[in-house]
Amino acid sequence: MTRLLSVLGLPLLLLLAALTALVQGAVQVQSGNLIELMAGEAGAHLQRVVLDYRLPRVLLGGLVGAHFALAGYLLQLITRNPLADAGVLGISSGSGLAAVIVFVVLGRLMGQDTAYQLVPVTLAWLPWLTLTGGLLAGALLWWLWRRTGLSPVRLAVVGATCAAIFSALLMGALVLWGQASSEVIILWLAGTLYGAGWERLWALLPWSLVLLPLVTLLSRPMLLLSLDAQKTQTLGFNVTRWNGLMLTLAVALAASAVAMSGPVGFVGILVPWLARRLYPNRIVDQLWGCIWLGALLVVAGDTLGRVVMSPFELPVGVVTALIGCPFFLYLLNRKV
């Protein structure tokens, strides 16, 4: 019974959060209206609000949360550092910098000045561009780590320094190319699901269908990576190669999510910590816990951001930062 509750509890909480997100907002939707909608008896306005705006936003938020949570889990695994996260280590900033280069520089060169004309490529290509930036940031971090043998805490400091450099370059690009371009991109860089539609969901879905199952299937190598490196090498297990693969998967997870929502911070720190405490015995359970908890945190955080300041919106990245930053400081204090 306890096992059943642990398996079904998080999906049920996520379902509850998703239903809450569908009915809450500037336009109130009653629970009875959802039944009418499923029966095909709802009006055109209700269908537009729920099906065209809120439903794709909820689904996209769930996938984005799962991506960031698993990326954080993998980074913490290979660095043996609970402070590791795509945002802290500069991977999200590197991905964001690549996206801004596309949004602003190429958009400006092509004469596209308005906020919604800044993307000179289709959404399907955008994750590949952010992946390029994320891989460059990850390669830099990997080189520094392997060459200097940094301790876990020092690695987090170096990653934060890289993130600060990428963020400075980002801000420089925004200042350089003017206010019309900056406003929408600054909102995106805060981590937001504003304006999320089916197009963004379809663009991220192929990445999710490949990456999420693939990561959960690698629980056995992850178990070996969590053991002492010298012992696993005596068994013929190539630690360096598997660490490189896990880093690549973490970058792909984070970069594809950044492309669709911007960098949503602290999900990759808070969620893996919770998953390890909810499921201390099996790595595969921890991975699924990250998927459900990450989705739950982003969906609930986005709903909170929409409702608290309605009709205005607080970006979900701001909400997760308000939740995760004190927790990060707590972990930093314990680690140091």
- Looking at residue 300, its pLDDT comes to 95
pLDDT-based confidence at residue 225 (cuts at 50, 70, 90): confident
Across the chain, mean pLDDT equals 82
**Are 269 and 72 in contact, with CB atoms under 8 Å apart?**
yes
What average pLDDT score do residues 121-148 get? 81
Give CA separation, 236 vs 50, 112, 229, 231, in Å: 54, 55, 11, 9
- Looking at residue 15, its pLDDT comes to 93
CA distance 214 to 67: 12
- Looking at residue 35, its pLDDT comes to 67
Q: Residue 185 corresponds to which amino acid?
A: I
- Looking at residue 112, its pLDDT comes to 52
pLDDT in tens, 233-251: 677 788 888 888 999 999 9
**Are 136 and 65 in contact, with CB atoms under 8 Å apart?**
no
**What proportion of the chain, given as a percentage, has pLDDT over 90?**
34
What average pLDDT score do residues 261-268 get? 91
Model confidence at 267: pLDDT above 80: yes
First and final C-alpha spacing in the chain: 40
Which residue segments constitute the domains of the chain, with CATH numbers given?
A: 33-333 (1.10.3470.10)
- Looking at residue 180, its pLDDT comes to 57
- Which string of DSSP letters, residue by residue, matches 271-329? HHHHHHHHS-S-HHHHHHHHHHHHHHHHHHHHHHHHHHTTTS---HHHHHHHHHHHHHH
CA distance 119 to 200: 13
Which range, of 68-77, 93-102, 170-179, 183-192, averages the lowest pLDDT?
A: 170-179
pLDDT in tens, 59-74: 999 999 999 999 999 9
**Are 208 and 59 in contact, with CB atoms under 8 Å apart?**
no
Model confidence at 335: pLDDT above 80: no
- Looking at residue 115, its pLDDT comes to 41
pLDDT-based confidence at residue 14 (cuts at 50, 70, 90): very high
pLDDT-based confidence at residue 336 (cuts at 50, 70, 90): very low
Model confidence at 106: pLDDT above 70: no
**Are 120 and 191 in contact, with CB atoms under 8 Å apart?**
no
- Which string of DSSP letters, residue by residue, matches 106-175? IHHHTT--SGGG---S-TTTHHHHHHHHHHHHHHHHHHHHHHHT--HHHHHHHHHHHHHHHHHHHHHHHH
- Looking at residue 18, its pLDDT comes to 92
pLDDT in tens, 185-221: 777 888 889 888 898 999 999 999 999 999 999 999 9
Give CA separation, 100 vs 89, 178, 192, 318, in Å: 19, 13, 15, 20
Pairwise pLDDT comparison (132 vs 4), residue with the higher score: 132
Which range, of 102-116, 138-152, 190-204, averages the lowest pLDDT?
A: 102-116
Of the candidates 22, 18, 30, 32, which has an alpha carbon nearest to the alpha carbon of residue 53?
22
Pairwise pLDDT comparison (95 vs 28), residue with the higher score: 95
- Looking at residue 120, its pLDDT comes to 46
Which range, of 158-172, 276-290, 312-326, averages the lowest pLDDT?
A: 158-172
pLDDT-based confidence at residue 80 (cuts at 50, 70, 90): confident
- Which string of DSSP letters, residue by residue, matches 211-246? HHHHHHTTHHHHHHHTS-HHHHHHTT--HHHHHHHH
Q: Residue 222 corresponds to which amino acid?
A: M
Number of H helices, E strands in the chain: 16, 0
Of the candidates 285, 260, 301, 220, which has an alpha carbon nearest to the alpha carbon of residue 14?
301
